[in-house]
Amino acid sequence: MTVHSNDRKSWLTKLERIGEISANNSSIIFNNIGHVINADMLVEQYQRLDGKKAIGIDKVTKVAYGENLGENINALIKRIRRGTYKPKPSRITEIPKEDGSTRPLAISCVEDKLVQSAVSVLLTKIYEPLFLPCSYGFRPGKNCHDALKALMSSTFPNMNGAIVEIDIRKYFNSIPHSVMMELLRKKISDQRFLRLIEVLITAPIMEGNKEIKNTCGCPQGSIISTTMANIYLHYVIDEWFETIRKSHFRGRAELIRYADDMVYTFERPEEAKRFYNVLPKRLAKYGLEMHAEKSQLIPAGLGAAQRAHKQGNRLPTFNFLGFTCYWGQARNGFWRLKLTSRRDRFTAKLKGLREFLWKNLNTKHTGEILKTVMRVVKGWINYHNVSDNERRIDVFRKYCMRIIFKWLNRKGRRHSMSWARFNLMLKAIGFPKAGKTISMFPTR
């Protein structure tokens, strides 16, 4: 069935209607939907845009673009309608990773961000009703903590099971454009809208002063990249796994995925092993590669943890969403999965805080610097303050306090600050406390 949503309603009304249609009929193919992207919608995307983000190669800021917003938006809409819109190359900056490598981050120009945002909003309305419960990344009403809770719940019933941790090598930069477009055509037949998507994901990139053709991937940093990445893995992984777990596995098998971070839990280790051997072939079929060094198949479950403990060993750990997941004993003596902040990222966060403060050693705006530090510390605590991670939170707070204390005393030089006075100052500026722990256990 094909849908023509060409009624003369506001873009928001049309958008909601598309979402309703998609939710009520999963077999629908959408046609003539690109017109939802109009001047009003682009103005809305402009207002949502974070003006503090890095600017693109044209050096135009959000404020500068907004000085002639109506003119700019109308000209942009005309180019989109005529099919002559072409995004400027994205500036690539390399972000260091914990393993010493770097992650390329694409920084688009303001105008291109508006188009990316509008396309992403429209695609989300179409695909959100289709996405499966196993997918948690960049979805309305879902977050990392929800994914972690799902992981805890799925491991609890498995006495002698297994866990498969999967890392896809350079996932965002490996998505084949032709396959991506082919998958989109399963739901969308609007050729102009599809062409607009293709223009966005194939936009060239700038490395230094050199413009490079983008032949593969949706670089992280672009607004549309997370949406495209979710759609791709919905077809490549989620739907496929949902099918085979019902037809090929006798025991429980669950997937918890947040973007390209994914963990599989199995009741039966032999089925986990079969899956682990088949998955690389499935990924290769769609132009992706499993990172063998960062992927693993490990035993899991209460029974497995007890046996390992009796033998003087511990079950192997695995990482998920910034946490190291390990098996430990609860207060009642039962073994269960626990979480602690990853040591490498814990250390990196403290190192980054120290470098930021020392970089601003001679600034006169001490209050503003401390406000920034408080936001960073509070953000880290809010995310990591989960069940079983209280000790790591306490250690993090203490290290942060020491770093700030040393910075202030180095900054004050002759007028050093006592620890007692420092504590009074922390109280005055609202140094973050641990607060209420986020429970990782299912509510009854």
Query: Tokens for 437?
Result: 């722990």
DSSP 128: T
pLDDT at 8 (0 to 100): 41
Q: Which whole-number Å values give the CA distances from 346 to 35, 91, 261, in the listed order? A: 47, 29, 19
Report the half-sphere exposure of 190 (CA within 13 A, side-chain side): 24
Q: Is residue 134 part of a domain?
A: no
Q: Are 134 and 30 in contact (CB under 8 A)?
A: no
Does residue 202 sit in the same domain as residue 123? yes
With H, G, I as helix, E, B as strand and everything else as coil, classify residue 268.
coil
Does residue 336 sit in the same domain as residue 243? yes
Does residue 354 sit in the same domain as residue 316? no
Does residue 200 sit in the same domain as residue 293? no
> In this structure, how many other beta carbons lie within 10 angstroms of the beta carbon of residue 367?
9
pLDDT at 4 (0 to 100): 43
Does residue 87 sit in the same domain as residue 212? yes
Q: Which whole-number Å values give the CA distances from 432 to 93, 398, 412, 429, in the listed order? A: 32, 11, 23, 9
Q: Is residue 77 part of a domain?
A: yes
Report the domain count for the chain. Answer: 3
Strands 335-341 and 323-329: antiparallel
Does residue 289 sit in the same domain as residue 301? yes
pLDDT of residue 3 exceeding 60, the answer is: no
Convert the pLDDT of each residue in 295-346 to its tens digit.
Answer: 999 999 999 999 999 999 999 999 999 999 999 998 888 899 999 999 999 9
pLDDT at 22 (0 to 100): 97
Q: Are 257 and 136 in contact (CB under 8 A)?
A: yes
Does residue 196 sit in the same domain as residue 90? yes
Instruction: Give me the amino acid identity at 361.
Output: L
pLDDT at 417 (0 to 100): 86
Least confident of 14-23, 354-363, 435-444: 435-444
Q: Which whole-number Å values give the CA distances from 22 to 124, 202, 232, in the listed order? A: 11, 27, 18
Dihedral (Cα; 347, 353, 359, 363), 10-degree rounding? -160
**Domain assignment of residue 359, given as a range:** 343-429
Q: Is residue 32 part of a domain?
A: yes
Does residue 80 sit in the same domain as residue 52? yes
Instruction: Give me the amino acid identity at 387.
Output: S
Convert the pLDDT of each residue in 137-150 to its tens digit.
Answer: 999 999 999 999 99
Record the pTM: 0.92
- pLDDT, average across residues 175-187: 98
- Cα–Cα dist 305/336, whole Å: 8
Query: Tokens for 47?
Result: 């207002």
Q: Which whole-number Å values give the CA distances from 307 to 48, 301, 313, 314, 416, in the listed order? A: 53, 10, 8, 9, 55
Domain end, chosen from 291, 306, 340, is at 340
Per 3-state DSSP, what percentage of the chain is helix, strand, and coil (rounded to 5)? 50, 15, 35
pLDDT at 218 (0 to 100): 92
DSSP strand E in 7-139: where? 29-31, 90-96, 102-107
Q: Which helix (H) or strand (E) holds 211?
A: strand 210-212
> In this structure, how many other beta carbons lie within 10 angstroms of the beta carbon of residue 211?
13
Domain end, chosen from 340, 375, 403, is at 340
Which of the residue ranges 256-265, 356-365, 417-426 has the most confident prediction, judged by mean pLDDT?
256-265
Q: Is residue 169 part of a domain?
A: no
Q: Is residue 323 part of a domain?
A: yes
Q: Is residue 440 part of a domain?
A: no
- Cα–Cα dist 347/155, whole Å: 28
Q: Is residue 261 part of a domain?
A: yes
- pLDDT, average across residues 125-143: 97
Q: Is residue 168 part of a domain?
A: no
